[in-house]
Amino acid sequence: MSELPSYLNFDKPAYAWKPDIDYRKNPELYCVGKGEQGVLICQPYKAEIGINWRFKTKSIAEVSAQKIYDQFLIYLKQGDFVGADMARKYLQMGYTRSRRYANYKGGKKYDSAKNYNLLERGTGDPEKAEAAQVFYQHWKTAEANEEYSNMKKQWKIEKG
């Protein structure tokens, strides 16, 4: 048996990101976290970036990843670290979610009917692997951006 998915015992009150906070007006309440944490919660960025997030096909992913990367650059130009970090998280999530669909049919990794055992890998959609590669390239380009890296280091020192 595999380890149970983390979402089964999710401790919502302890989660650092809250849906009722406007992180543009209160950026000091934002923490970077690990990976994609907070990406589907932090407003107004969720609404601004999420509308562009698509990965059904490689061509759709190319348009989506470029739009999100462009948003990333705009946030940087505005000195909006939270927006830039959220855009980076959406690029990362584009990669991880499309990889999930490439690896598992329907994107389902766990079988809830069988005590959340892992489902068979390699049953997914190969086209999603191409979409994943598109997001991966944009994600890594964003992470390598020197201005973003400096802002992130400073943010972590000052705010966590």
What's the chain's average pLDDT? Answer: 90
- What was the pLDDT predicted at 7? 66
- What was the pLDDT predicted at 93? 97
The 10s digit of each residue's pLDDT in 27-55 is 999 999 888 998 999 999 999 999 999 99
pLDDT range class, residue 126, cuts 50, 70, 90: confident
In single-letter form, the type of residue at position 38 comes to G
Within a domain: residue 10? Answer: no
Q: How far apart (Å, rounded) are the C-alpha atoms in residues 129 and 117? A: 23
Question: Could you tell me if 79 and 150 are in contact, meaning their C-beta atoms sit under 8 angstroms apart?
Answer: no
Within a domain: residue 1? Answer: no
As given in the structure block, the two tokens for residue 151 are: 């802002």
- What was the pLDDT predicted at 118? 72
- What was the pLDDT predicted at 1? 45
Within a domain: residue 30? Answer: no
Its pTM stands at: 0.88
Number of separate domains in the chain: 1
Per-residue pLDDT, averaged over 67-75, amounts to 98
Q: Which domain holds residue 60?
A: 39-158
pLDDT range class, residue 150, cuts 50, 70, 90: very high
String of b and e for 59-84 (b: at least 16 CB within 10 Å)? eebbebbebbbebbeebbeeebbbbb
Within a domain: residue 145? Answer: yes
The 10s digit of each residue's pLDDT in 75-100 is 999 999 999 999 999 999 999 999 98
- What was the pLDDT predicted at 2? 54
Within a domain: residue 97? Answer: yes
Within a domain: residue 63? Answer: yes
- What was the pLDDT predicted at 54? 96
Question: Could you tell me if 23 and 40 are in contact, meaning their C-beta atoms sit under 8 angstroms apart?
Answer: no
